[in-house]
Amino acid sequence: MAANTLLKEDILFENDNFFVLSKPYGVATLDDRHKDKSSMILIARAYHPQAQACHRLDKETSGILIFAKHPEAYRHMAIQFESRKVHKIYHAVVTGVHRFQEIEVDRPITVQRSGQVRIDWQSGKPSLTIFNSLEVFKHATLVQCEPVTGRMHQIRVHLASLKAPILADEMYGGSSLYLSQIKRKFKLAKNTEEEPLIKRVALHAYQIRFLDMDQQSVIEVTAPYPKDMQALLRQLQLHDQ
């Protein structure tokens, strides 16, 4: 995806009411006026002037974003999100060995002034996420995350509460993973510094399912892993089984 250009291959789904994009990591969903950089809403509106983002993803999170083409479609999606009829699946690579099977984390969270989120049993908003392990390695686990509610940083703080912080998520206790930690007889080239296997929060909005305007047609969209997630999992599969 070029700075302000939407290519045909960037569009995962499109009809008369919506188009669904795969957001790259490092790009904000909405316009950040304090930083002169691109955002997904600017990119989307260059493609369709009336586009409205139906939900948000953290800047460091990659994956699926739904845009409405007209106000009626936006209202339709807002009602679905509010009534929790939108089914979302995220994939995360977390630190450590975890064998989650339909683990429900029902812990209220609140946003602090710093922008960080924490579990708050007294004044936090209800938050529920379901976790399942997809692939278990020696030093990390690929986890499927299904947020029933849609709070800010919900998946990240809920995983941290399970002592399974996402790789490279320093805000919630995650650390970086290096090839030298998982590969036998690893040798670093002279005069080079080892880079982590992934440089951003290893979280990807993988799949979403919602109803079209007719209230009957089910739209299900899947976003392939970006290159950095593919590379991370390939190294884990090769050297960390």
- In angstroms, the CA 11 to CA 223 distance is 10
Tokens of 165: 């912080």
**Cβ–Cβ under 8 Å, residues 239 and 184:** yes
Active site residues: 58
AA letter at 80:
Q
AA letter at 34:
H
What Å distances lie between residue 85 and 33, 35, 215, CA to CA?
32, 34, 11
State the distance between the two ends of the chain, measured CA to CA, in whole angstroms: 33
